[in-house]
Chains A and B, each alone.
Chain A
Amino acid sequence: MDYSNRRQNILVQFLPAIADWFITAFLLAVATALSSFFFAIMDNPTSNIALIYILAVFLIARFTTGYRFGLCASLFGVVCVNFLFTYPFFELDFTLTGYPITFVAMFTISGITSALTSNMKVQAKLLSERDKMLMEADKEKMRANLLRAISHDLRTPLTSIIGSSTVYLEHGTHLTDKEKNDLVLHILEDSNWLLNMVENLLSVTRINNETAKVNKSLEPVEEVLSEAVIRLRKRLPKAQIQVRVPDDVLMVPMDAVLIEQVLINLIENAVVHSGSTEPVECHVEDGPSEITFRVRDHGIGIPAEKLSTIFDGSSSTTSTSTDGRKGMGIGLSICKTIITAHGGTIKAVNHAAGAEFYFTLPKEDSNIDT
């Protein structure tokens, strides 16, 4: 085990070096071949030949790691030029006029190029590492924010549930029937709210952690939309919702359970927060490359300063929210997560008389799971 591990380490260490040696040998071979060619057809090819070797040395320094390959190559080039292509042929003579200049120039070029490229590679590595760290930090921050928002959002209804049931049990004898009924009703409301929250959180686990992608299959949009509306009506029987779908049958790749959750969140948000009793309009539009779901209410709209951060998940915990419990912070941020994982976009806008949330789903998908 230990031995094979070590062997693997050695392999890992030397494999790139082997590849680098290959690159060096290959480029030098090409350079030599080209030089021979020039040497055969030209009268005074020395300068061209030197240039070709300089080019080869430059490329070797660029595409290998460390200084040694470039330096070896320049040494080889210098000797080659001297030995093969300058008079006297097949003899080394370093006393030729100007030759030391070629020699020094080739070494300098290879040295500087190697230094520059190694530096570049180190820089790139540092940059990518910093990017990674920033992303990790971002993720951590998001996670912490989400947890904070969740605990805040969960604690409030739980407090109410525990409070109501304690009152019922301890002071039940002094309460009127109506008071008792109200207490139980509050418990029911709060637990329903909690359940929806938990389902929201659970739905996120369907998104692949590694790739942030979902399992898509072709679903008719009307089925998803109708199921969302039916489930929401069970919970909010008084909700006024108008639903409309195109006449054509639209089959769109998606994770239906997740999109249903998004629709429920958006419609519930519109019903609860618009402050209007007019029906919430919910319709689907067919486009050339994507379809758009729109949820529109005729209420108070969204404050302009919140429009940009409404999907961040923190809006419910800010002090501007008067009613923290019913804040849709987590719900909306989960919508965003789900839609992004589908490769779509989600937006909130104000229209003349209220707010509109819409999201798109791409129609074509290369990795459909059937």
Chain B
Amino acid sequence: MTLPRPATPLHDRPAPRRWTQIDPILLIVTLLLIGYGLVMTYSTTAETRTFTGDPMQFVIRGAIWAAVGMAAMAAIALFDYAWLGAFAPLLYVFMLGLLSVVLAIGSSSLGAQRSVNIGGLSFQFSEVAKVLMIIVLAKFFADRRASIGSPLTMLLGLALLAPAVLLVYRQPDLGTSLVFIAIFFGIAFLAGARIWQLVALVAIAAASFPLVWALLKDYQRARLSAFLDPYSDPQGAGWNIIQSLIAVGSGGATGKGLTAGTQSPLGYLPIAESDFVFSGLAEDLGFAGAVILFALYIVLLVAALRVALRAKDPFGMLIGGGVATMLVFQILVNVGMAISLMPVTGIPLPFISHGGSSLVSVCFALGVLQSVSMRREPEGP
């Protein structure tokens, strides 16, 4: 039996674009989440505004990034995602190049070298690198459906993944390197990889934990210990966790109201507009605000998975799976960190964390999804 040759726009007529097949639910929930994010930026930067004079500067900046993100989403949706597949090797090299640039000339903040300044704006290249990795891995596994069960395929996939993970880890950004690993597992799982192989990988990772522990930086070890027992060092590594729990818990059922929270404006909650934004959200808007956010996320994820399910080829399907994996992993880690279910790592909460690179990258990813959606086979009669 011959498998159908993987579609490439170089050989085939481009798949027809069908505007009617834009996923409306995905689009609407995306816009709602961007709006929610701007509201939270407004709320968590209320105190900063009074110090810096320009009352709306963070919100305006957020809105500009949202506009850029939506433009990127629209632009990428116009292109046939098959082109992305065709140029996957190039994208891969480009991605590694970006991550190397960060290490070479990146500017430091809070002890980590994560962003690059261009024309006064700072870019976190690792955010867009995540999306590129999704495309590369989706393409890799889509092209190897026949040999998906072979350990060699798995090892080759890991070989693709490893340089990116190491480059991000060197920044150091343990959280984002974990996102890369999660994307790998998500795509491999949906591509049909042998479960035992995936389990074996997890087992190897667990077994090598002592080695990893030795390689961790001191602050990372402190964060892990603090996660297990925040009160062992309440003024130090445990501080963020304790203050975040206080912020979340003090929100109660309906929250203290927008900008009325005290934990973040008074500085008890560190990095309240990005890493710990969920704590600020839970404090200001309470359990209700958090549940609304979760509901939007679930709709987004279901919509993304639906696009994946209906994709016309494995590449499209795996892109959808990869994007869903990235989103759910970031949500789990960021929210889990805020409520002390996960150790502290600096992973942004999609749409809600204030930060252009993260927002534009997520929009870019969703634009690719829309491209997949628009080029699927039309619904049966």
Interaction A to B = no
Q: Which residues of B contact A (CB under 8 A)?
A: none
